[in-house]
Structure 1
Amino acid sequence: MADNMALKEDGPIVIAHRGGSGYRPEHTLMSYKVGLAQGADYIEPDLVMSKDGHLVARHDVYLSHTTDIADHPEFADRKRTLEGHEDWYVFDFTLAELKTLKAIQPRPGRGQTFDGLESIVTFDEIIAFMKEAKANGEDAGLYVEMKRPELFIELGLDPTDELLAKFDEIISAGIPFYFQCFNADYIAGFQGKTDAALIWLIEGVEKGGQFELEVPLAMYADKVDGIGINKALLVDKNMQPSGIVADAHKLGLKVHIWTVRNDEVPHGIRSVDEELKFLFAQGIDGVFADFPDTAILARNSFRLMTAGPGEVD
């Protein structure tokens, strides 16, 4: 497995999901700054690729949800339908064009105070930001996801070599580092090519009122360092633990859970604090959170509740 300081952590870690995205437009430097300021262990950028081959941070390959592109008449004719969704797509724009767009808050109910203040950020800019943070005494790491690699490869925009080069740069800078992807074959293909800790993302499939794995964990257990799973996979239809954490740990895999949101608490759970403490009680190794400060408070409280004699200073 990878020789990466990320794998030596004594969890659970808190990952700032798309930065402090509960407080700022996601995947902006200000969002990542909030995550760092609140004490997150990791900042999570999602990566997509521009028409001219630059890695940039967006959660989706389309742009209307998180940018002001609809307000740019010069790009009106770029709108098209792909996979049944009419939108503007990142791979139809050069980096220079993408830089003219401004980020906006995509989730209803969250404030729009910070909309329009920052443009789309590149992977290079994120790495520079994290290097500066480290120089200033910040210990946080990067937890990077590549979105839809198979689509970009089909378009002639294979991100693999660029990713590997950037991974070396991040690890050489002493920044703890995870790389994640939903495409199991793609993430497995990085084994032996990088010291990045590799995480296989799993959504699962709903059957009979509960979420289940589509592919056994053992199929990729020797090719990755951990799994990042939909929190619905943690329980069965009776809300009892499904056993997936124990199964993963037996295979030597870390288990990180997505996503906890203060403003989206699951039915039957009274508060986000209750949800987080339930997750920690399952023995998970990390959690993705839109509101990192809330997750950190819950983790600290959980540690106090469960610590044995002499374990808390």
Structure 2
Amino acid sequence: MAVAQGADAIEPDIVSTRDGVLILRHENEISGTTDVADHASFADRRTTKEIDGVAVTGWFTEDFTWAELEGLRIRERLPHLRPASAAHDGEGRIQRLADLLAILDEDDARGRPAGPVGLVAEIKHATYFASVGLPLDELVAAEYARAGWSDDPRLTVESFESSVLMELGDRGVSGRRVYLLEKAGAPFDLVARDGSAATTYREQLEPAALADLARRAGLDGISLDKKMLIDGAGVADPALVDRAHALGLDVFTWTLRPENAFVSRAFRTSGDKAERGDWRTELERVAATGVDGVFADYPDLVVEALGRDALGRDS
């Protein structure tokens, strides 16, 4: 559907099963996105873990084999905001990274006027998974090698941890590297190494620090929380985009969503969080900062508002 609506790339979050199968889930805790809690045989798997320094309770992908997870049904993560999507709960199953690669290869073989659809693969919780014996750099690199994607020009890899991006490069994955940055806090790979002295995301965006990181990690771009580009009053600031562009980096932002719950305060149209706000004005202001691309839950709205080839320095 995303491809049909005009998406130029698909961005899955990648986590692992106990037996090292890479699957597509927003988090490794899956009670909010599957019916795992309805399976009495899995009741004893419910537990509390510390994921990236935060206590999380539920069912975790790394405690299941793929054969076990394959039987689960998927659910809308935000049913109170997206009841139309939630109406389809139970109709689909979890997909593996291998399944998505096959879909994209089939789409590429058919061809489309706008060109091939890319893959922007987010490596989730790499430091945590390595600590439980599931090194995502190794598993992801092996999956790409099996599928012939290691040097595919359609591939971009991204993560909130720069170390895994470097490790993937060391393992022969030559896709573009994009570093994700939060508005607050510090990347967990650095927290695990340096504790309270860890460099924060904000500090990494200082001109000298960003230049050094881009060089060491071989970055092609950065991807910023939307709130770093536009404030609650709807005022957009291109400073970060300009700074990154000056270093030759592309800049992306996430996540553009139309509901009042997600648009900036200035663009909310009512107190109904599920109702669509003035998403079009917000999108236009974000685009005006000069970003090279946006991540959106509704690609058709981006195409509708901006048209194709409306973003970026080179398009």
Indicate how the Cα distance of structure 1 residues 247 and 97 shifts in structure 2: closer, same or farther if over 3 A, else same: same
Q: Does 1:215 align with 2:204?
A: yes
**Paired residue for 2:135?**
158
1:268 aligns with 2:266: yes
Partner Cα separation in structure 1 for residue 309 and residue 221 of structure 2: 23
| SS at 1:258 equivalent | strand
The correspondence of residues 168-179 of structure 1 with structure 2, limited to 5 A, is: 168=145, 169=147, 171=149, 176-179=154-157
Match of 1:229 in 2: 224
> Alignment partner for residue 73 of structure 2, among 87, 91, 102?
102
Match of 1:127 in 2: 101
Cα distance in 2 between the residues matched to 1:198 and 1:301: 24
Is contact 2:16–2:134 with CA below 8 Å preserved after alignment? yes
Q: Which of 97, 112, 118 is the aligned partner of 1:141?
A: 118
Q: Any runs of at least 4 consecutive aligned residues in structure 1 with deviations exceeding 6 A, and if so which? A: none
Does residue 251 of structure 1 match 2:229? no
Cα 1:47/1:301, change in 2 over 3 Å: closer
TM-score relative to the length of structure 2? 0.79
* CA distance, structure 2, for counterparts of residue 44 and residue 184 of structure 1: 18
For 1:195, the aligned partner's letter is S
Cα deviation digits, residues 170-204 of structure 1 (max 9, x gap): 54795611100001222233345322000000012
Match of 2:161 among 160, 173, 183: 183
Q: How far 1:235 sits from its partner (Å)?
A: 4.1
Cα distance change on mapping 1:122 and 1:275 into 2, 3 Å: same
Q: Deviations over 1:204-231 (max 9, x none)?
A: 218xxxx971323223111211001101
Structure-2 residue corresponding to 1:85: 56
Q: Which moved more, 1:57-66 or 1:138-147?
A: 138-147
Listed one character per residue, the Cα deviations across residues 247-266 of structure 1 (whole Å, up to 9, x for unaligned) are 00011111010000011211
Give the Cα separation in 2 of the matches to 1:173 and 1:225: 15
Match of 2:189 in 1: none
Native 8 Å contact 1:204 1:214 kept in 2:
no
Of 260-269 and 278-287, deviating more is: 260-269
Residue in 2 aligned with 1:58?
Answer: 25
Aligned to 1:280: 287
What residue number does 1:198 align with?
A: 177
Distance (whole Å) between structure 2 residues aligned to residue 75 and residue 231 of structure 1? 37
Q: Give runs of aligned pairs for residues 18-33 of structure 1, distance below 5 A.
A: none
SS at match of 1:189: helix
Aligned Cα root-mean-square deviation (Å):
2.4
Residue 245 of structure 1 aligns to a residue in which SS? helix
Contiguous gaps of at least 5 residues in structure 1: 1-33, 305-310
**Cα shift at 1:281:** 0.7
Superposition deviation, residue 145 in structure 1: 0.5
Aligned partners of 1:188 and 1:224 also within 8 Å: no
Measure the CA separation in 2 of the matches of 1:51 and 1:302.
41
Q: d(CA) in 2 for partners of 1:236 and 1:272?
A: 14
Q: Find the residue that maps to 1:52 and give its secondary structure.
A: coil
Does the alignment pair 1:37 with 2:15?
Answer: no
| Same amino acid, percent of matched pairs | 34
What is the CA-CA distance between 1:161 and the residue it aligns to? Answer: 2.3
In the TM superposition, what is the alpha-carbon distance from 1:109 to its structure 2 partner?
2.2
Greater RCO between the two (CA within 8 Å, min separation 6)? 1
Separation of aligned partners in 2, 1:254 and 1:275: 21
Count of matched residue pairs = 268
